[in-house]
């Protein structure tokens, strides 16, 4: 499989090309729109779930267009089912391509997961076994998606609650090989790393030591919930319904110390707080990014 280069479109850009590097962003929620537009300096960028904007028009598109006029946008897909055994949904891919062309996002991403089976669509991002057969199928799907939208995507590492005995590759090895085969980049979700490490009893630090940070184009941070499994053991759920946990902040600082300042998003998708609460999380992220950018020795190394 051949890596897909960025292919510049012939038509003129509809929106300003805002820089996104080294900035902290936040999930865009309708209840925050008025506060965001009244804020002279809200965050560096906003991320939206592509599936919320696949209609032809109406208030959602008017709101997103107004945001895109003033800030960069990251387009995050949740239903492409890149890890699924069946072919990609051509209609869904066409709508996704239309959104990329319509809003010219600074970042485009999807998940290493599957979410459909035949005509059933699950409201979840489900894990997959890391085998050579799965690797070939996922790489084929990434190639198809990148060829359709005419640019590379960022692929997000999952949060997982089960593992497959069939797996013959580690997750970081699987992701590294996908990058090599397809030319895609990676979206590192640090909260997902912590959730999976806790649930399966492996070291988050060892996982990150093997992660190909040089290919990371965006980072996600989010809150998680604590539950118990059937045996009473701690089970973490990637819930996106609260502030980032202290342990995740510590992992993030380690990552940024190694990678340099990478665009980082605060995800908050349920129990949505008032805008100042979400903005404060993004501001804490920006302070870490700025501190790393201001470190001369590290800046030289990253350069």
pLDDT at residue 127, as a whole number: 87
CA distance 179 to 175: 6
Per-chain mean pLDDT for the chain: 92
DSSP 118-155: TTEEEEEEE-----HHHHHHHHHHHHHHHHHHTS--EE
CA distance 32 to 36: 6
User: What are the domain boundaries of the chain?
Assistant: 24-302
What is the CB neighbour count within 10 angstroms for residue 226? 11
pLDDT at residue 112, as a whole number: 96
* Torsion sign over Cα 271, 272, 276, 281: positive
In tens digits, the chain (303 residues) has pLDDT values of 444 444 444 567 899 999 999 999 999 999 999 999 999 999 999 999 999 999 989 999 999 999 999 999 999 999 999 999 999 999 999 999 999 999 999 999 999 997 766 666 656 777 899 999 999 999 999 999 999 999 999 999 999 888 889 999 999 999 999 999 999 999 999 999 999 999 999 999 999 999 999 999 999 999 999 888 888 888 999 999 999 999 999 999 999 999 999 999 999 999 999 999 999 999 999 999 999 999 866 543 443
Instruction: With beta carbons less than 8 A apart as the criterion, state whether 174 and 135 touch.
Output: yes
pLDDT at residue 227, as a whole number: 86
Question: Which run of H or E residues covers position 269?
Answer: none
Instruction: With beta carbons less than 8 A apart as the criterion, state whether 130 and 169 touch.
Output: yes
CA distance 135 to 266: 29
Give strand pairing partners of 48: 75
Whole-structure pTM value: 0.92
CA distance 185 to 172: 13
The per-residue pLDDT for range 22-56, each reduced to its tens digit, is 999 999 999 999 999 999 999 999 999 999 999 98
The per-residue pLDDT for range 60-100, each reduced to its tens digit, is 999 999 999 999 999 999 999 999 999 999 999 999 999 99
At the fourth CATH level, which superfamily is domain 24-302? Divalent-metal-dependent TIM barrel enzymes (3.20.20.150)
Instruction: With beta carbons less than 8 A apart as the criterion, state whether 130 and 101 touch.
Output: no
């Amino acid at each position: 499989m051949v890596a897909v280069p960025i292919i510049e479109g012939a038509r003129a850009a509809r929106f300003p090309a805002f820089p996104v590097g080294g900035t902290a962003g936040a999930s865009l929620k309708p209840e925050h729109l008025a506060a965001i537009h009244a804020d002279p300096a809200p965050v560096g960028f906003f991320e939206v779930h592509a599936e919320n904007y696949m209609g032809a028009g109406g208030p959602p598109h008017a709101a997103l267009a107004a945001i895109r006029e003033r800030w960069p946008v990251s387009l995050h897909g949740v239903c492409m089912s890149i890890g699924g055994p069946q072919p990609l949904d051509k209609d869904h891919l066409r709508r996704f391509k239309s959104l990329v062309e319509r809003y010219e996002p600074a970042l485009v991403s999807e998940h290493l997961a599957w979410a459909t089976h035949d005509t059933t669509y699950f409201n979840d991002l489900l894990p997959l076994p890391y085998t050579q057969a799965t690797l070939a199928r996922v790489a084929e799907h990434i190639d198809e998606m990148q060829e359709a939208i005419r640019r590379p995507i960022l692929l997000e590492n999952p949060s997982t609650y089960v593992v497959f005995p069939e797996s013959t590759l580690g997750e970081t090895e699987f992701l590294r090989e996908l990058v090599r085969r397809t030319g895609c980049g990676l979206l590192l979700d640090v909260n997902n790393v912590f959730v999976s490490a806790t649930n399966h009893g492996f070291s988050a630090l060892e996982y990150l030591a093997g992660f190909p940070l040089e290919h990371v184009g965006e980072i996600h941070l989010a809150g998680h919930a604590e539950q118990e499994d059937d045996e009473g053991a701690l089970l973490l759920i990637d819930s996106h319904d609260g502030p980032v946990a202290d342990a995740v902040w510590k992992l993030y600082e380690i990552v940024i110390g190694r990678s340099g300042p990478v665009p980082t998003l605060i995800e908050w998708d349920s129990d949505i707080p008032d805008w100042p609460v979400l903005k404060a999380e993004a501001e804490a992220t920006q302070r870490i990014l700025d501190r790393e950018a201001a470190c001369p020795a590290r800046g030289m190394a990253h350069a």
